[in-house]
Structure 1
Amino acid sequence: MSYVLSSPSATRRTGLIGIVVGLHIGLFALLILTKTALPQIVEAPLIVDLIEAMPLPQASRVKPSPVVTPPVPQKKESTPPQKAPQPVLETTASAEPAASHAPVVAAEAKPSVPSSAGGNSMTGDLPLVQARFDADYLKNPAPVYPSMSRRLGEEGKTILRVHVLLDGSADQVDIKTSSGSLRLDESAQRTVRTWKFVPAKRGGTPVESWVLVPITFRLEQ
């Protein structure tokens, strides 16, 4: 039986080679594991979209509003305001002696004074000057034309019978002839009560008397 003895150097060399081969195998395996474990970073392509800037809207030019010249108002011919119709006072044949419509008043009933010659009284023979209401200085207001009568077109003539005292005031105003409208009659009667008269005179002496006052209510066309 034969034995082959190897030298120590050959054995050591074989061990070193094995170690080297093992290291290479380990490194190779490590590289494979590293490539498998690490994720691959994929660079995404950079995409740039160029967007054109929208043009800014131009400020709309505000057209100046045309200057409006106000029309010149035409001057209207001023028409004079229409005066409210006034009653018409009639003064002709308006006096009425007291004796013809009423008993003789006390002022006219004085007893006659005998004259030195023993004749009749001179006072009773003197003419009677009738009472007046149309003198300008009396400033008697005209009766008011009632508004309702104007709207209804009422017209007419009222004749008043007025008793005039010695001081020229009227103490009694009666309606002798109606105008046909109570409103017109009352307006005339109410106003004439406030009038002043020139009293009747006989021989320069004031006496009481009756006088007729005609008032015509007429609407102007």
Structure 2
Amino acid sequence: MSRVRNFNHILLVTVLSLMVNGMLFTGLPNLLPKVRRQADLESVQTVDFLREPPGRQTDKPPERPEDAPPPEPPRVVPQRTLDPINDQTPLTPRMEMPAFDLAVSTPDMALGVPVDAPMAQTPAMPSLKAYYGMAEVDQVPVATLNPRPVYPYRARRLNLDGAVDVKFLVDTTGQVSRISILSSSPPDLFNDSVMAALSGWRFTPGKVQGRPVSTWVTTTIEFRIDDI
């Protein structure tokens, strides 16, 4: 019996607790003051995206008529028409020409009109040949360096004299080339000595009208035992 009472007592307490909690849960929000949010107070602003009509006035003040410069009057160029009969204005400007005294005395006319003599033309320089002979040049080559040929040992031992006729070319720089033996006495005894000596000779070149030219030279080189 006591157990039933205890169970009923616990059940009653539980039911009362649930009722009290339900009343508090449902009535408590109504007891609190309502707070207005900032979002509830904001108003919606509308924006007009329509274009401004062409005739609508802008904020810029209109220009006053007195500020604009007055228009420039059109320029009128007077046109003149020439009367071919009455108008005597010349079409070309008149120029005052100085007066020249063209009086010529009779004696001067008898002498005729002086004419300047034509200027003398310098004759053209003739073209030069490749080679000239001794008789064709204005100035023959002159030796500036001509060491004597070596006297051959065989000719000295035999106590022999000799002579060699030789021909060579002196070019425009004065050097010797194209050496050839024309004759020699005794034969072939002095030829090598002459060829070796002429290779080292130097000349002032021959000239034609002041210009150096290549010149053929013919000469005789003598060997004398007494000159040793």
TM-score normalised by L of structure 1: 0.40
Higher relative contact order (CA 8 A, sep 6+): 1
